[in-house]
Amino acid sequence: MAIDGVEEKMMKEEVFDSTTASFLLKELKQSFASGKTRSYEWRVSQLKSILKFVNDHEQDVVDALRSDLSKPEFESVIYEVSMLKNSCKGALKKLKHWMVPEKAKTSMTTFPSSAEIVSEPLGVVLIISAWNYPFLLSLDPVVGAIAAGNAVVLKPSEIAPATSSLLAKLLSEYMDRSCIRVVEGAVAETSALLEQKWDKICYTGNGKVGRIVMQAAAKHLTPVLLELGGKSPVVVDSAVNLQVAVRRIIAGKWCCNNGQACISPDYIITTKDFAPKLVDTLKEELEKFYGKNPLQSKDLSRIVNLNHFARLSKLLDDEKVSGKIVLGGERNETELRIAPTLLLDVPRDSLIMSEEIFGPLLPIITVDKVEDSFDIISSGPKPLAAYLFTSNEKLKKQFVTTVSAGGVVVNDTTIHLAVDSLPFGGVGESGIGSYHGKFSFDAFSHKKAVVYRSFLGDAAIRYPPYTLGKLRLLKALMGGSIVRIIRALFGWS
């Protein structure tokens, strides 16, 4: 296989710096300028190539995720591989329809005319992905970017090195390398990429790095799609099927990468009276799922690295919460494992309530009445997701109306992620923009307004000399009132 300019430069210098990044961007801009990515055929071929390499290498993906996170095969296949396949299949099925210009109405002011909205690719986009779902969160935005007709640079997370390496290898083998590239590395490589002028940057991760990405993008007025996180609350009312509610909370918390997920439940709010029943049921179901010694369970992912293990341990060791543990708390630093942990009546000013947990710890806050939970949620930054369990229709409506979050689910957790007819994204500090399904296509497209006119119907009233009669008629036309237009035509005041 021939070595292109960027690879040759990297082999000589053994470093990916700003100069190398600039050269890579230049090559991709040239490919984009050729027009090849705009065609329906190219987009379809690349989406099919993603499907092919996923089908050909599914076990390799599972193995890489196990290496990076000890992720159970069930979670890898269902929540990463299968969801990506569905994303590709959905785009392939609907792409032709997405690409068709959308007809738009015109007004009497521009009569006779027609108008449409044309979706055009932005150009060359940079996608910086996260380590917790390193396969899905790398390639799902890529699907949208390709469907929209863009050239793409993907920067996988160095914290998931096995998956990053596999992505670099497979995309190089299966995809059109003149338009789609992978850059591996850490802070230095990411910084070099962020110095460049991209047509859009998509970043998935935490708010701290999100601010760095946004600051770098602002220098070039580059639009951003930021998928961040936050403290996603779960409000549990007493009017519920408690076993089902608890199982669904567990599924969203510990069955999703052991709590290392951006939409994972971050804390529970329930009433003082109902909390004992809730805790007892959580204990029972957690033991059914993970046994009496969950540190030995093969169905729980490990903590990604020692830094995150230390961060979570610090949250647990905080003197304000160390005595609040009602289940779990066991740790194995050597194997980077922390058991599912429940903490009851956690102070709101504790460290665990001041930052996103992103791990297997679940604090429970109690209130006098369930409606008090709305003020607690609203007092903090807007979360990426908010969950409510209740059979009370009035409470459901009040929750949806009152709580501002990226997404809301009633009587379940995290499942909105799998509904591609819904936008997935944050609000406020939990993110900017959204994607999934058609929203992915739109996220990487420019909606270009187009008006068509003939040479007929050229009205003299728009040209000088300006008269009172012309002004009256134009005001009537722009106002859209037939009566006023008739009055203006006849010169009636």
The full DSSP string for 363-426 is EEEEESSGGGHHHHHHTSPPPSEEEEE-S-HHHHHHHHHH---SEEEESSSSGGGG-TTS-EE-
Q: How far is CA 78 from the centre of its chain?
A: 18
User: Residue 445 has what pLDDT?
Assistant: 98
Task: Strands of 161-265 (E only): list them.
Answer: 180-182, 200-204, 224-227, 233-236
Contacts of 291 (CB under 8 A, 6+ apart): 297
Domain coordinates in residue numbering, the chain: 18-228+437-447, 233-425, 462-490
| CATH class of this structure's domain 233-425 | alpha beta
User: Residue 14 has what pLDDT?
Assistant: 65
CA distance 166 to 242: 42
User: Residue 1 has what pLDDT?
Assistant: 39
CATH 3.40.50.720 fits domain 18-228+437-447: no
Strands 337-338 and 233-236: unpaired
Task: Strands of 52-205 (E only): list them.
Answer: 102-104, 113-121, 124-128, 151-155, 180-182, 200-204
**Residue pointed to by tokens 């951006």:** 262
User: Residue 12 has what pLDDT?
Assistant: 47
Please tell me the total number of residues recorded for the chain in this structure: 493
CB burial of residue 72 (10 Å; 0-12, 13-18, 19+): buried
CA distance 457 to 106: 15
133 close to 160: Cβ distance less than 8 angstroms: no
User: Residue 2 has what pLDDT?
Assistant: 43
Amino acid identity of 13? E
Give the single-character DSSP code of 301: P
User: Residue 157 has what pLDDT?
Assistant: 97
Q: How far is CA 26 from the centre of its chain?
A: 28
Catalytic residue numbers read: 227, 262
Joined together, the tokens standing for residue 344 give 């009851």
Residue 35, Ramachandran bin (φ over 0: left; ψ between -120 and 50: alpha; else beta) = left
CA distance 120 to 444: 9
265 close to 234: Cβ distance less than 8 angstroms: yes
Q: Identify the segments of the chain with pLDDT beneath 50.
A: 1-3, 9-13
User: Both ends of the chain: CA-CA distance in Å?
Assistant: 79
Preceding omega of 112 cis (within 30 degrees of 0): yes
Give the single-character DSSP code of 226: E
For 342, what's the count of Cα atoms within 13 Å in the CB-facing half-sphere? Answer: 22
Sign of CA dihedral 227, 434, 165, 188: negative
Q: How far is CA 479 from CA 107, 109, 127, 360, 484, in A?
A: 10, 9, 45, 60, 8
Residue 69: closest CA among 151, 157, 147, 193: 157
Contacts of 130 (CB under 8 A, 6+ apart): 137, 157, 204, 205, 262
Strands 434-435 and 424-425: antiparallel
User: Residue 161 has what pLDDT?
Assistant: 98
Give me the long-range contacts of 243-250 (CB less than 8 A, separation at least 24). 243/281, 243/285, 245/389, 245/411, 246/278, 246/281, 246/282, 246/285, 247/285, 248/389, 248/411, 248/412, 248/413, 249/282, 249/387, 249/389, 249/413, 250/282, 250/285, 250/286, 250/289, 250/340
Strand partners, 103: 116
CA distance 64 to 165: 9
